[in-house]
Chain A
Amino acid sequence: MSAPQGQFSGPQPSATAIFYRNIRWLRFVDRFGKKGQAAMEYLGGMAEMAGQTIRACFTRPFYSGEVLSQLDEIGVKSVSITGITAFSTGMVLALQTAYALAAFGGKMFVGRVVALSLLRELGPVLTALMVGGRVGSGITAEIGSMVVTEQVDALRTMAVSPIRRLVAPRVLATTFMLPVLTALADMLGILGGLLIAVVELNMTAQDYLGSIWNQLAISDIMSGLSKTFFFGFEIAVIGCWNGLKVEGGASAVGVATTRTVVLASICVLISDFFLTKLFLAL
């Protein structure tokens, strides 16, 4: 680029300077372009894996033993954490609504408010967030360390698909256990509310449960529970994908685990909005 460029007159920038200035600008664009491209590749890869997983769930070979052990690992072992979360949330909700409604003499509605908030919103979302933290990170850490120690490569060299063997059982188990956990959480949350209503608010159990029973529609329960299938699928797919994408050593597994928790939580909260909108429209 150092070839003479003819006559320069006045303070005009040389062709070389213009070239370099443009290059700098291009670099700036390029950096953002690269980030965007990386994000697109990440999302595209995840979507592709999700597609393959769905296909693997309906075609042979199946790993039913793996699915069973994941149902236990993901579902049964999450009962305590989601149960405690829902129970204490139900108690707090009862206290807060009683405080807010006392001014209007609306203590009778405590049961209904607690049940509606839990069934429609808090039960599904809080359970999904807790499971996203516990199960999503666990999936990433497990698959990630299998990648680092070449166990995933070993599976592939033995002509066994990691999608079928590792991803599909986890996705299936999470997708089907999250609604179960949510139903359990809903019940425990309402029970927590009942405890406060009886002990703190001097209500009878009949009043509390009656106000729930009389007003509750089946759609309240279903709109909450049907969201959790999507949440469960999202959490497991994000967990598996971040695990499979681990490159390098043990520290990379830690980074991937954190990424899973953050991404799973954000995805649950954002998709909750759209799913709520969708189910209200239906």
Chain B
Amino acid sequence: MSANPNTTGPGPAAVPETIVEFKNVWKRFSGKEILAGVNLQIRKGEILCVLGPSGTGKSVTLRHIIGLTHPDEGDVIVFGKSVVNLSEEALAPVRRRAAMLFQGGALFDSMNVEQNVGFPLREHTTKTPREIAETVAEKLSMVGLPGVQRKMPSELSGGMRKRVALARSIALEPEIILYDEPTTGLDPLTSEKIGQLIVDINKRIKTTSIVVTHDIVMARTVSDRLAFLHQGRFQFIGTFSEASRGGHPILMEYFRSMGFPCGTGLIQVVKDL
């Protein structure tokens, strides 16, 4: 809420279109408030990183966008239409235009990589098996894993599984991709690769990306904007440089605990040293 109107921010001149909007969203799980009046506007084409401590409802926020969770109060608007309390069938058009990358990849373990990546194509397009195989090969090489079509998910490493899942998410070239902790449990090198892929895919198929993460290193490299979720609300929404210059006291605490010197300019950095 306290985005500094500083002059150095590379704010876009024209106001971009809003693709997802949260309006005063409340969600409780067994009496505990997880989201307490969340307001957020996501612009078309941007990469927004949602940061916050564990258990603050980052993933829950993400699940609201694609209708896996429905709010107790408030409204979630995706592609200009409310997705609140829609039936599974009514949600289908929204879900065909959006994709979600789950934390563990959520590959179907009864299918091999090719069947997994081709699954949305078989379900929602009239492509022939040969065309599907071609698209699968293309998407797999996009995520840097050409030639693994015949492998089963159980034969892949954690990082590979996530990349295959990413290939599956982009199979239908969605307009929104939701990433649920894409780098959790991966080594720094693989994390960096995944971060690169997120930026790459965002440019190549012109999607809007929403990335839920604790990984500040990745947030810095990929995000156009950050949103910091704490105590059920977004306490800060703005660019990384705005955040490190002094966005929100708890966000700065969070940055510092992750080893990022920040504060009001250089003085704070010197103090920290």
Contact = CB atoms under 8 A, between A and B. Distances in A.
Contacts of A149: 104, 106, 109
B77 interface: no
Contacts of A153: 63, 68, 100, 102, 106
Contact of A150 (B91, B95, B99, B102): B102
Contact of B120 (A146, A151, A158): A158
Interface in A18-45: none
B254 interface: no
Given A153-B68, A154-B100, A159 B106 contact: no
A157 B99 contact: yes
A160 B123 contact: yes
Query: Which residue, A156, A157, A159, A160, has most C-beta atoms of chain B within 10 A?
Result: A157
Contacts of A146: 108
Contacts of B107: 151
Given A158-B95, A159-B91, A159-B92, A151 B106 contact: yes
Contacts of B67: 156
A150 B106 contact: yes
B88 A150 contact: no
A161 interface: yes
B124 interface: yes
Nearest to A163: B88
Given A159-B123, A159-B124, A154 B102 contact: yes
A96 to B, nearest CB: 44
A246 to B, nearest CB: 15
Given A149-B104, A149-B106, A150-B103, A158 B123 contact: yes
B119 interface: yes
Nearest to B98: A157
A146 B93 CA distance: 24
Interface string B84-102: 0000110111011011101
A157 B106 CA distance: 11
Contacts of B47: none
Contacts of A154: 100, 102, 106, 108
A150 B123 contact: no
A151 B88 contact: no
Interface in A155-203: 156-161
Contacts of B95: 156-159
B120 A156 contact: no
A237 B69 CA distance: 24
B88 A161 contact: yes
Nearest to A162: B88
A153 B102 CA distance: 9
Contacts of B100: 153-154, 157
A68 B197 CA distance: 39
A161 B123 CA distance: 11
8 closest Cβ pairs, A-B complex = A154-B106, A159-B95, A150-B106, A159-B92, A150-B102, A157-B100, A158-B120, A151-B106
5 contacts: A149-B106, A150-B103, A154-B100, A158-B120, A158-B124
Interface of B: 63, 66-68, 88-89, 91-93, 95-96, 98-100, 102-104, 106-109, 119-120, 123-124
